[in-house]
């Protein structure tokens, strides 16, 4: 989930201020110093299903043992996708006036995804020279769905007039028709994206294999969706909330490893879930800093930093890779995935991977 870069000065939209006449921004203090609620959603899921967490951890340990011993079926066999995969997206817009997010806005959001994931975004020229060598270019592409699950023509956008807000809980009301939301389409064939309002959170995603099919997908706040100045917060006006959350959906963790500044967790550790990443070069142990190509980072960065950000985790220049989409910087100051992150995302599409159905 994504909230403001500055806790004390954040524009948020309450569902009550969105009407057919337009949107009136409401100033309010966010509930936490986070932008993304993906990890909270995962923690809530594990609290509700403690047996699932135990089973996932056991599976991760088993894979780690196999990777250390080729005779046990491991040895790090690398099965990664090396061809372009185009993913159909369906946008479920749930707002009191869902038509304020136009078809053109949604197409602009899809265009943004394609630029960012291909590494062809023009602002990638702003990536410092130290990180240009590891800047990624993925084979992931996106398009609006052209057929519904029932085979009917569609533009990949559906809307519902509703005051239902998202909660990042499981189940989430925005995904439940009986609660005023819109139901997911078959998650094995469509990338489900919900657009709504969520009480100070910019969005959240479900990791592969960590949620039921009817909850799989990404939720984004209207203030971070596309770039329409009528409703978008200026800090999030390049559509990169979805770039960030889609990264989680395809298996990426936050770049600082979600360890609260302790410098102990790797952002390339295994994500858990019933579909873990078995490639040992793309998913290591919790504190394995040898995996991946992003600097060890202590905590998230907000706003729009400049120059080198060195700290106790990355003491030498260039320091933190705050230009990375998996940090919390403003849209205008994040420009890149690393090559390792791109490869890790592609791995989930390979045969037997948690998102393999999109590549079939």
pLDDT tens track for 168-218? 888 999 999 999 999 999 999 999 999 999 877 899 999 988 888 999 999
Burial of residue 199 (number of CB atoms within 10 Å: 0-12, 13-18, 19+): middle
The rounded distance, in Å, linking the Cα atoms of 289 and 246 is 23
Query: Residue 161 pairs with which residues in a beta bridge?
Result: 95
Domains of the chain, start order: 11-359 (3.40.390.10)
The rounded distance, in Å, linking the Cα atoms of 331 and 245 is 13
- Packing angle, helices 38-48 and 50-68, rounded to 10: 110
b/e burial code for range 312-327 (CB count within 10 A of at least 16 → b)? ebbeeebbbbbbbbbb
Question: 252: which 2 tokens?
Answer: 């990426």
Question: 23: which 2 tokens?
Answer: 């949107």
**Which pLDDT score, from 0 to 100, does residue 79 have?**
53
**Which pLDDT score, from 0 to 100, does residue 166 have?**
95
Of the candidates 15, 26, 130, 245, the residue annotated as catalytic is 245
Question: 203: which 2 tokens?
Answer: 């969005």
Q: Which residue has the higher pLDDT, 344 or 44?
A: 344
Predicted confidence band of residue 133 (pLDDT cuts 50, 70, 90): very high
Burial of residue 74 (number of CB atoms within 10 Å: 0-12, 13-18, 19+): middle
Residue 333 has pLDDT above 70, yes or no: yes
The rounded distance, in Å, linking the Cα atoms of 119 and 123 is 10
- Which range, 40-49, 187-196, 338-347, has the best average confidence (pLDDT)? 187-196
Neighbours of 154 (CB within 10 A): 17
Query: Catalytic annotation on 245?
Result: yes
What are residue 269's phi and psi, to 5 degrees?
-75, 165
Report whether 81 contacts 346 (CB < 8 A): yes
The rounded distance, in Å, linking the Cα atoms of 111 and 291 is 31
Question: Which whole-number Å values give the CA distances from 320 to 32, 255, 258, in the listed order?
Answer: 22, 9, 14
Can you tell me the mean pLDDT for 115-119? 97
Q: Which residue has the higher pLDDT, 66 or 221?
A: 221
């Amino acid at each position: 989930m994504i909230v403001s870069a500055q806790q004390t000065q954040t524009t948020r939209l309450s569902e009550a201020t969105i009407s057919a006449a337009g949107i009136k921004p409401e100033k309010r203090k966010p509930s936490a110093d986070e932008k993304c609620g993906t990890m909270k959603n995962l923690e809530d899921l594990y609290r509700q299903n403690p047996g699932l967490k135990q089973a996932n951890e056991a599976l991760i340990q088993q894979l780690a043992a196999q990777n250390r011993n080729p005779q046990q079926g491991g040895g790090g066999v690398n099965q990664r996708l090396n061809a372009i995969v185009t993913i159909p997206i369906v946008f479920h817009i749930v707002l009191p006036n869902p038509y304020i997010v136009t078809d053109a806005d949604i197409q602009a959001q899809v265009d943004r995804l394609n630029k960012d994931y291909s590494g062809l975004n023009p602002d990638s020229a702003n990536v410092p020279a130290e990180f240009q060598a590891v800047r990624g270019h993925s084979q992931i592409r996106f398009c609006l769905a052209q057929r519904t699950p029932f085979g009917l023509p569609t533009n990949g956008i559906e809307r519902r007039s509703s005051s239902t807000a998202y909660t990042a809980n499981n189940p989430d009301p925005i995904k439940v028709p009986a609660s005023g939301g819109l139901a997911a389409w078959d998650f094995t064939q469509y990338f489900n994206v919900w657009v709504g309002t969520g009480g100070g959170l910019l969005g959240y995603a479900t990791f592969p294999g960590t949620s039921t099919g009817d909850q799989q997908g990404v939720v984004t706040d209207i203030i971070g969706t596309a770039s329409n100045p009528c409703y978008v917060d200026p800090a999030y006006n390049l559509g990169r909330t979805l770039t960030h959350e889609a990264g989680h959906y395809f298996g990426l963790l936050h770049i600082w490893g979600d360890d609260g500044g302790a410098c102990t967790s790797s952002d390339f550790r295994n994500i858990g879930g019933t579909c873990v990443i078995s490639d040992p070069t793309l998913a290591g142990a919790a504190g394995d800093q040898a995996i991946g190509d992003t600097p060890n980072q202590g905590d998230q960065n907000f706003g729009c930093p400049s120059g080198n950000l060195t700290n106790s985790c990355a003491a030498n220049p260039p320091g933190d890779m705050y230009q990375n989409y998996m940090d919390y910087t403003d849209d205008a100051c994040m420009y890149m995935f690393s090559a390792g992150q791109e490869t890790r995302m592609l791995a989930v599409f390979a045969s037997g991977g948690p998102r393999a159905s999109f590549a079939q």
